[in-house]
Structure 1
Amino acid sequence: MKKVLIINGHPDRESFNWALAKTYSEAAHNANAKVETINLVDLHFDPVLKYGYRRPYPLEPDLETAIEKMKEAEHLVWVFPMWWYGVPALLKGFIDRTFLPGITFKYQKGKLFPSKLLKGKTARIIVTADTVSWYNRWVMKNPAINQFKKGILEFCGVKPVKVTYLAPIKSSSMQKRKNWLLEINKLGARQA
């Protein structure tokens, strides 16, 4: 039984992101995976890493629980909108507060790169946006995806990291959204 953790980074419970996270969860559960979901908006934590890595900042209980769930999971599914070619502040704050030295990576004396503490895990990033994919890829160079995939997940050892980019959301028809939900259902059924 595969252990799947879905992290929903959209703060609006009525957003399409919530429907995507729910669809993936239900499909994975129906395929006999052990599935848990963290809706970041439900957590109580200060999203500001006040001292950087200079001095420790105590983790709130919700963050401690989230870290344990991430460590236990085999497959991480991140669902979030791309806003201003980046991730929402809530998700960025969650990453800043949980992807810490000794938790997701560890500095190595005399070495350029830290050791990766999330090795053995895989991930799926489901990104929604209003920017058409060709513009995001060729003109903007995939900033949110590159940061999240390479600068965060792969940096900490998560591989492979696959991406599903759904856009444009704002002008999408109900039929298009149904098709996207069917696509996410198939991914959830395979825990891919």
Structure 2
Amino acid sequence: MKILIIYDHPYDGSYNHAILESVIQGITKANGTYEVIDLGKEAFDPVMTSTDLLAFVKHQAVDPKAISYAQKISTADHLVFIFTIWWELMPAMTKGFIDKVIFPGLTYTYKENGISMVSLLPKLQSTTVITTMNTPKLMYKWTYGNALKKALIKGTFKKTGMKNVKWLSFNMVKMVNDKKRQHWLQQVTQIFAGK
């Protein structure tokens, strides 16, 4: 299985980076192959320019890096997104990736009605979103309306025809003890090792 990991966190000492390492450890145990797109280290520009917007309308992407990322997605069996949740949604770099890479003509197209969408990623079998946040799970669900689920899982991935989308959320990361954090990392490794 070929796995493409889209990673967005600026600090290599973060818990998100430990999650990334656990994902890689699990993939390696399962004898899978992987590639990491580290948006910060690759200096990805998340800003939609007027040129990008015109390209969106024409369904002809122009950002070379976004096009290359979409090509990598098209050859993957599984996508993994790893990022922290800030102000109840994804960081700007991840949002920019969604805006410029999950793009008409690259990863999806519209049906004849002009509203419904269909995926252009026949090889892609599944997508896993892994997030961290300090908001308690029930508060995130009931006070903030599961904002990420509505905006990204349903409003983007499922809407554009991606299959088998799962979300693994680690909440109250700063508040839990190290034993709990280590347990979560082991859980991530086991998931990607197929155990």
Question: Is TM (by shorter chain) over 0.5?
Answer: yes
Q: Secondary structure at the match of 1:41?
A: coil
Corresponding residue number in structure 1 for 2:13: 14
Q: Which residue of 2 aligns with 1:94?
A: 97
Aligned residues: 189
Q: CA deviation at 1:159?
A: 1.5
Quote the residue 1:139 is aligned against.
143
1:42 counterpart SS class: coil
Q: Please say if residues 74 and 121 of structure 2, whose CA atoms lie closer than 8 Å, have aligned partners that are also in contact.
A: yes
Q: Structure 2, unaligned stretches of length 5 or more?
A: none
Partner of 1:186: 190
1:47/1:97 contact within 8 Å kept: yes
Task: State the percentage of identical aligned residues.
Answer: 30
- State which drifts further: 112-121 or 23-32: 112-121
Could you tell me how far 1:103 is from its partner in structure 2? 0.7
Contact 1:49–1:57 (8 Å) recurs in 2: no
Which consecutive unaligned segments of at least 5 residues does structure 1 have? none
Between the aligned partners of 1:57 and 1:74, the Cα distance in structure 2 is: 23
After superposition, residues 164-183 of structure 1 pair within 5 angstroms as 164-183=168-187
- 8 A Cα contact 1:50 1:57, kept in partner: no
Task: Give, in angstroms, the shift of residue 45 of structure 1.
Answer: 3.3
**Counterpart amino acid of residue 82 in structure 1:** I
| 1:57 CA drift (Å) | 5.9
CA RMSD of aligned residues (A): 1.8
Runs of 4+ residues deviating >6 angstroms: none
2:117–2:161 CA contact under 8 A, matched in 1:
no
CA distance in 2 between counterparts of 1:72 and 1:87 reads 25
Contact kept in structure 2, 1:118 and 1:156, CA below 8 Å:
no
Distance in 1 separating the partners of 2:44 and 2:84: 21
Task: Assess if the C-alpha contact under 8 Å between 2:61 and 2:106 holds in 1.
Answer: no
List per-residue Cα deviations over 1:113-152 (Å, max 9, x = no partner).
Answer: 1222235420111110000101111221210122111112
Question: Residue 68 of structure 2 aligns to which amino acid in structure 1?
Answer: T
1:83 has 2:86 as partner: yes
Decide whether aligned partners of structure 1 residues 117 and 57 sit closer, same or farther in structure 2, where only a CA change above 3 A counts: closer
